[in-house]
Structure 1
């Protein structure tokens, strides 16, 4: 796909309209997913100021360090005025100059560094600071066909890594050794960076965000493998499968894995426009609870994904926002028994006009290696 499809030029105009509709005079976006969403520019995160000044009306200005101007000019959709600043010069007056008079309210990138927030407060003392997400949330939460295609490419790439797991995951190897092989494979599959590698064997599998350790993997131990990375497009992958290597799994594990497998499949099948995030969460949670494992399902059922690994919408109790076509998110229930073992199954899916599309297509059954 072309970068003009993934980062269309009219996106800046849509963002300006959304800024005005939110009652904001401008968005001030430092490096991160919002800036990349609007311009395609994967800006370096550092102490030097990079900031897109997007007024509700008028010409957008991208303020960059002088040494990074060539990278900014090469971005797919920086159809904006670029102003640079040399080292040793205060860049914040450039933000003020890029605005048409003192603003009453500005939207700051949701994950802006605190030192930049405070510097902008000092530079624009009369401006109320709010979150840029108030304007951009509705644009980003529904993926375009090009974004769905980018997420599908990411899903296929991470699926390729899971399909090769038997090469690395063997009894006697440590979680960290397996993780190092997986990380290399994530890059080999087309990702530009590795976002995370969780290899959690035996009792470590009962901790959803365990990471890795130097503990050797035992024969027949369940191993939760949750992996993801960022593609050249900027869009992310995230997929979890649970494995058993070198021997039969514990009987109690096999029993509750069957419950988890059915619950994850039911939650995927429940996705369609109009159901809420809370309803999707309940579709996974209710069968797990009915089987007696409710207290062992420790987290929400899913999170949105796109240019961020975690973004809206969230599939969680209390989220009564209906799902809509184009929303992309994980379906990842888990069961975790402290001190023993755990399991999780995760697919990225997209809500379609009449149902759901799985972007991870490998089998979700317990995988024996």
Structure 2
């Protein structure tokens, strides 16, 4: 797909309208997913200022270090209509921000993850301006994915599925989690990702820690192994998929029993997704069967998180989020059961809410996989 499909010029105009409606005079966006969403530029985050100045009215300006101007010009940003201005090493770049704003401002939205030193420098450069979060404006634009974004997420999903399909090549008793993770990371890149965002290989008791990572512990025969992996595609869109495996022998009987509960819960939660259903109702659909089976306290986390240019973004599928789902919302459905000191399991698919239901972007089987 072309960059104009993923990063269409009209996004800037839509963001300007939303900025004005939010009572902000401008957005000031440092490197990160918001800047890339609006311009397509995957900017380097460093001590030299890169900042998209997007006034509610007027022309947008992308301020970049002079040494990074070639990268900015080679990105999709110029096709969106952004003017590029550079600053030399040693020069104060903040007057360029003031000039790009074109006049006094009373309120600006800053990228949520802007470095503190830049936040404070902008406060000094714009002493009359209240600083708010740019997500107040951009959250609503980003939460519903366009068809091109859904296609990019589907491409990412297929790439990570291809890695899970090859797991039998690497996951064997006697190998350490770290050894397996090294092979998986190489496969994630070979499948088309430009970066490996995370590799969790959690065997036996380590599987009871949802964010375990890896260790030098060898994998034992018959141990359940949670494998949660994801990366970023050239498009900028992310993958994230978890499957649970058993290697080299039969798993513990109690594990087989609760995995069946987890499998049913994950399927029920996916099936609950459709427009108008609240995010917390999907969480409930996953949680009720697990609670009914006596494992409620062992489901330690929310059911899901949005995904796109960030690995975690809106909407969050969690109790208390009463927002109704809408077509184009993309998020994970990933219930888990974790028995401390023994083992754990998680099943995760990325799904998209469609106009009349749900589309799974990960299509490998969710049954317990014996290798």
TM range (shorter): over 0.9
Q: Deviations over 1:201-226 (max 9, x none)?
A: 00000000000000000000000000
Q: How far did residue 129 of structure 1 move?
A: 0.3
CA distance in 1, matches of 2:11, 2:205: 47
- The counterpart of 1:163, out of the listed 165, 172, 181, is 165
Superposition pairs of residues 216-295 of structure 1, within 5 angstroms: 216-295=218-297
Is 1:41–1:72's contact at 8 Å kept on the other side of the alignment?
A: yes
Superposition pairs of residues 279-358 of structure 1, within 5 angstroms: 279-358=281-360
Q: How far did residue 302 of structure 1 move?
A: 0.2
Q: How far did residue 93 of structure 1 move?
A: 1.0
1:21 is the counterpart of 2:21: yes
2:209 aligns with: 207
3-state SS of the aligned residue for 2:9? Answer: coil
2:102 aligns with: 100
TM-score normalised to structure 2 length: 0.99
1:185 is the counterpart of 2:197: no
CA distance in 2, matches of 1:104, 1:123: 12
Is 1:4–1:77's contact at 8 Å kept on the other side of the alignment?
A: no
Q: Which runs of 4+ in 1 moved over 3 A?
A: none
2:143 aligns with: 141
CA distance in 2, matches of 1:112, 1:204: 34
Structure 1 unaligned spans of 5+: none
RMSD of aligned residue pairs (Cα, Å) = 0.5
CA distance in 2, matches of 1:77, 1:357: 31
3-state SS of the aligned residue for 2:331? Answer: strand
Is 1:66–1:86's contact at 8 Å kept on the other side of the alignment?
A: yes
1:36 aligns with: 36
1:55 is the counterpart of 2:52: no
CA distance in 2, matches of 1:219, 1:115: 51
Structure 2 unaligned spans of 5+: none
CA distance in 2, matches of 1:119, 1:218: 54
CA distance in 2, matches of 1:154, 1:160: 10
CA distance in 1, matches of 2:237, 2:326: 20
CA distance in 2, matches of 1:10, 1:117: 28
2:120 aligns with: 118
3-state SS of the aligned residue for 1:224? Answer: strand
CA distance in 1, matches of 2:51, 2:262: 45
Aligned length: 369
Q: Deviations over 1:105-154 (max 9, x none)?
A: 00000111111111111111110000001111111000000000000000
CA distance in 2, matches of 1:21, 1:200: 47
CA distance in 1, matches of 2:246, 2:114: 42
Q: How far did residue 331 of structure 1 move?
A: 0.1
Is 1:263–1:284's contact at 8 Å kept on the other side of the alignment?
A: yes
Q: Deviations over 1:158-180 (max 9, x none)?
A: 00000000000000000000000
CA distance in 1, matches of 2:208, 2:136: 36
3-state SS of the aligned residue for 1:280? Answer: helix
3-state SS of the aligned residue for 2:89? Answer: coil
3-state SS of the aligned residue for 2:197? Answer: strand
CA distance in 1, matches of 2:6, 2:82: 17
CA distance in 2, matches of 1:340, 1:271: 32
CA distance in 2, matches of 1:365, 1:268: 14
Is 1:52–1:63's contact at 8 Å kept on the other side of the alignment?
A: yes
3-state SS of the aligned residue for 2:77? Answer: coil
Q: How far did residue 314 of structure 1 move?
A: 0.3
CA distance in 2, matches of 1:305, 1:108: 21
Q: How far did residue 77 of structure 1 move?
A: 3.2
3-state SS of the aligned residue for 1:98? Answer: helix
CA distance in 2, matches of 1:118, 1:173: 49
